[in-house]
Amino acid sequence: MKQWQRRVAPYVFVSPFFIGYAVFFAYPVVHGFYMSFFKQTGIGSEPVFVGLGNYLKLFSDETFLRSVFNTSYYAAGSVFLIVPVALGLGLALNIRRLPVREFFRLFFFSPLITSGVVVAIIFRLVFDERYGLINNFILAPLGFDGYPAWLIQPALIMPSIIILGLWRYTGVNAIYFLAGLQSISPEIWEAASIDGANRWQVFRHITLPLLRPTLLFVIIIAIIGSYNFFGEPYLLVGPEGGTRNAGLFMTMYLYLNGFRFMKFGYAAAIGYALTVIILVLSVIQLRLLGAFRED
């Protein structure tokens, strides 16, 4: 009886996710895939089968390709700027002798407690050309002449969004690193420093390898998050991504096609292109850093 219960229990335990997933995600995901082979152009129109037409069109759609570039630009910023800064912050917040350490930990996490809508609106005030915080309180005192139009110049739009991302997501990533660091036994470091290793050596040869699973986790979450980014850029630079679509993310282009131009099939195809990109990047990543493991 007990044995039987023990064999069945895991299936019962894991079933809620898969049942719920079947209803609320699998069906929409499959339905979306089906829709991606049809052309549908507006309210009341009949879907027309176009085969791979929507997918082929993606390759010649300049706006789509721009959105892929933009999104990848942000993802690169996320992986190569936000993640390293978060790692540094995590290391700093792990130092036992740091004064008011607990306060810092909480404080750097705080940008995440505000809604993306609010963040976008506040950052319009941060970046405003004439009345913005950056131009008035950082650049002006430093003696800059002629203020940059952060949210208007195409070259500055994506850096602005990355700055927003840095502000908002560094803290939570630092906390992930902190968690990873705390699972490393302090004796390992002590042993290393007795051996005369300097700080960089300790970091490079001991801390970083031990943090690998955390790093993997954080980078994957950063990539997925980047390719799913929507609310902040949508409200910061507008649905079209601002000048020359420089802030147009793939999700925004999907939304624009699906809910403004009413091209559901095309929007679904964009969704699947997005999925493939995330999938490929994640697999590359897993290969590079090693898969999730049970330790």
Residues 202-241 binding another protein (CB under 8 A) are 212-214, 216-217, 220-221, 224, 227-228, 230-231, 235, 238-241
Query: Which contiguous run of DSSP H or E holds residue 294?
Result: none
Which position among 77, 165, 171, 233 is part of the footprint of another protein (CB under 8 A)? Answer: 171
Buried b (16+ CB within 10 A) or exposed e, 245-270: bbbbbbbbbbbbbbeeeebbbbbbbb
User: What is the separation of C-alpha 91 from the centre of its chain, rounded to a whole number of angstroms?
Assistant: 21
Q: Is 144 in the site for another protein (CB under 8 A)?
A: no
Q: How far is the CB of 213 from another protein (least distance, A)?
A: 2
Q: How far apart are CA 277 and CA 281, in angstroms?
A: 6
> Whose CA is closest to 217, among 83, 109, 94, 107?
83
Sole window of 74-82, 145-153, 200-208 interacting with another protein (rule: CB under 8 A): 145-153
Q: Is 51 in the site for another protein (CB under 8 A)?
A: no
Q: How far is the CB of 11 from another protein (least distance, A)?
A: 7
Pure H helices in 110-246: 116-127, 133, 154-182, 186-194, 199-202, 208-227, 231-237
Q: How many separate helices (H) and strands (E) can be counted in the chain? A: 15, 2
Rank residues 72 and 153 by Cβ distance to another protein and give the closer one.
153
Q: Is 141 in the site for another protein (CB under 8 A)?
A: no
Which residue type sits at 34?
A: Y
Which residues fall within 8 angstroms of residue 251, CB to CB, at 6 or more apart? 71, 227, 228, 229, 230, 274
Which residues fall within 8 angstroms of residue 275, CB to CB, at 6 or more apart? none
User: Interaction with another protein in 104-133: which residues (CB under 8 A)?
Assistant: 104-119, 121-126, 128-131, 133
Q: Is 185 in the site for another protein (CB under 8 A)?
A: no
Which position among 51, 136, 144, 190 is part of the footprint of another protein (CB under 8 A)? Answer: 136
Rank residues 55 and 104 by Cβ distance to another protein and give the closer one.
104
User: How many Å is the maximal CA-CA distance in the chain?
Assistant: 80
Which position among 78, 160, 207, 245 is part of the footprint of another protein (CB under 8 A)? Answer: 245
Q: How far is the CB of 130 from another protein (least distance, A)?
A: 5
Rank residues 77 and 269 by Cβ distance to another protein and give the closer one.
269
Rank residues 203 and 230 by Cβ distance to another protein and give the closer one.
230
Determine the length of the chain. Answer: 295
Tokens 């950063």 locate to 222
Tell me the per-residue interface mask from 58 to 97 with another protein, x by CB under 8 A, - otherwise: -----x-------------------------x--x--x-x
Rank residues 43 and 194 by Cβ distance to another protein and give the closer one.
43
Which residue type sits at 179?
A: A
